[in-house]
Amino acid sequence: MIEILQKPWPWYLSGLLIGLTVPTLLIIGNKNFGISSSLRHICAVCLPANIPFFNYNWRKEIWNLFFVAGVTIGGFITGQFLSSNEPIDLNPKTIAALEAQGIDYTDKTEYTVHSGSDHKLKYDVLMPSAIFNTDTIFTLTGFIFFVVGGFMIGFGTRYAGGCTSGHAIMGLSNLQWPSLVATCCFMAGGILMVNFILPAILKAIL
């Protein structure tokens, strides 16, 4: 059983399980699926600072924080027990294009992720180790990829009123045309970044 779970899952299984989250949350408590709202609730809990947008009864929305805590625990469980530790079956075209930009996909350097245990994971299985590495946090690379990138995620999702889960999955499931507009804009922004802006950034910093 564990061996089956450790293998990478096919897209239809992952898609099915993500899709089923929508009715599950509705049936177990009348909750609309959405994750980026949790960032707003964290602001409301930690630093409402008299901003009307953060002064609401966040206790009513606490389920959302339980949900994202679960997502974090799920990530931990997978890393500890269900990791296949094999590289992703990526399109060779993508690998070649990224290598031309200085991102090494085949880097086999091992990093101890959870200190104090023998469990080792290869960073490059999911993320390029040249960028997503604790050594880059206080460099220009870290600033662009983590600080600026993260800011755009938080600012953009709240401005758009939702993220991939709230708009692309929940909104489209409920046939909401504003969610289709938002989803198209998410895609447009991503296409623009990956094909035009990111190559320029990588050229400058790597």
Binding residues among 96-135 for another protein as defined by CB under 8 A: 97-98, 105, 113-114, 121, 123, 125-128, 131-134
Three-state SS annotation for 167-197 = HHHHHHHCCCHHHHHHHHHHHHHHHHHHHHH
* Residue of 109, 110, 139, 191 that binds another protein (CB under 8 A): 191
Pattern 5-24, another protein, x by CB under 8 A? x--xx-xxxxxxxxxxxxxx
CB of 62 to another protein, least distance (A): 6
* Residue of 140, 181, 200, 204 that binds another protein (CB under 8 A): 181
* Residue of 100, 192, 200, 204 that binds another protein (CB under 8 A): 192
CB atoms within 10 A of CB 31: 15
Distance CA(100)–CA(116), nearest Å, equals 36
Could you give the angle at the alpha carbon of 172 between the alpha carbons of 166 and 175, nearest 5°? 125
Q: 37 to 56, contacts with another protein by CB under 8 A?
A: 37-40, 42-43, 46-47, 49, 51-56
Q: Which tokens is 160 given?
A: 């758009």
* Residue of 85, 150, 203, 204 that binds another protein (CB under 8 A): 150
Distances (CA, A) of 116 to 72, 79, 112, 119, 152: 20, 15, 9, 9, 34
* Residue of 99, 100, 149, 206 that binds another protein (CB under 8 A): 149
CB of 102 to another protein, least distance (A): 13
Counting contacts by CB under 8 A, is residue 58 touching another protein?
no
Distance CA(91)–CA(182), nearest Å, equals 28
* Alpha helices (runs of H) in the chain, residue ranges in sequence order: 2-6, 11-29, 37-46, 62-81, 92-100, 140-142, 149-160, 172-173, 177-192, 198-205
Count of positions on this chain that bind another protein (CB under 8 A): 143
Pattern 65-94, another protein, x by CB under 8 A? -xxxxxxxxxxxxxx--xx----x-xx-xx
* Residue of 99, 100, 109, 178 that binds another protein (CB under 8 A): 178
